[in-house]
């Protein structure tokens, strides 16, 4: 009989934990705005010097240009945009570049992507994500910018590098619709 009681108490504790977990998920948005980083999300350093919109773009587009050159990426195309570092759309914002490039048809895609990462590492990129970022796959970082390297799953023999900058742009874009900008001409 005591075992059944113990099992009943364990089910009640498990149920309470489930309720607590659901409550944490439902209130997580409010809690996340008070932290300096969130798992999988960009870090926010409140003591870092804020960037202007132009500085935010330069921070990330300059590194995209560098990657195209040092890795000798063929047919590179790219788009630049900004995104809020929180789920309310408020400042701070970060810059983001989506960089696509041709992978030669006669090479192993995975090996080619690792060669791109090796070329970047030879030019000052470090293995892993920037502090506060947790991404899967091949990730490198330099000057607070994270590069996530992989195939473009929608298109065979196309590689993709997603560059994500720092949360330092304090310009309020909350009520603005800011489209992505084609930066292909700037990459070459």
Find all residues with CB under 8 Å of 83, minimum gap 6, and list them. 93, 94, 96
CB-based contact 93:169 (threshold 8 Å): yes
User: CA-based angle 106:183:73, to the nearest 5?
Assistant: 20
Mean pLDDT lowest among 9-13, 54-58, 135-139: 9-13
Q: What is the pLDDT of residues 91-134, one digit of tens each?
A: 999 999 999 999 999 999 999 999 999 999 999 999 987 766 66
Give burial (CB, 10 Å; 0-12/13-18/19+) of 131. Answer: middle
CB-based contact 97:61 (threshold 8 Å): yes
Compare 69 and 29 and report the one with higher pLDDT.
69
Angle between helices 109-121 and 53-70 (to 10 degrees): 120
**Domain extent listing, the chain:** 1-32, 53-187
Residue 8 has pLDDT above 90, yes or no: no
Q: Which two tokens stand for residue 79?
A: 């788009």
pTM: 0.74
Q: What is the pLDDT of residues 137-157, one digit of tens each?
A: 799 999 999 999 999 989 989
Q: What is the pLDDT of residues 25-57, one digit of tens each?
A: 333 333 233 334 444 455 555 547 999 999 999
Separation between Cα atoms, residue 149 and residue 59, nearest integer Å = 18
Prior bond of 92 cis (ω within 30°): yes
CB-based contact 37:43 (threshold 8 Å): yes
User: In the prediction, which pLDDT does 66 show?
Assistant: 98
User: In the prediction, which pLDDT does 173 show?
Assistant: 86
Nearest Cα neighbor of 141 from 157, 123, 158, 115 is 123
């Amino acid at each position: 009989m005591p075992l059944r009681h113990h099992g009943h108490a364990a089910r009640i504790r498990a149920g309470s934990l489930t309720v607590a977990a659901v409550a944490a998920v439902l209130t997580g948005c409010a809690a996340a705005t008070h932290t300096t980083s969130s798992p999988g999300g960009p870090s926010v350093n409140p003591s870092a010097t804020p960037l202007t919109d132009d500085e935010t773009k330069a921070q990330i587009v300059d590194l995209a240009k560098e990657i195209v050159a040092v890795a000798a990426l063929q047919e590179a195309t790219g788009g630049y945009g900004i995104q809020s570092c929180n789920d309310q759309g408020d400042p701070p914002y970060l810059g983001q570049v989506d960089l696509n490039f041709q992978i030669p048809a006669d090479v192993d895609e995975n090996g080619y992507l690792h060669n791109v990462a090796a070329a970047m590492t030879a030019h000052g990129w470090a293995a892993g994500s920037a502090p506060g970022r947790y991404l899967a796959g091949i990730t490198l970082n330099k000057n607070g910018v994270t590069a996530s390297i992989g195939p473009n799953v929608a298109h065979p023999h196309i590689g993709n590098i997603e560059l994500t900058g720092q949360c330092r742009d304090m310009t309020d874009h909350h009520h603005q619709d800011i489209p992505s900008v084609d930066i292909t001409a700037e990459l070459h």
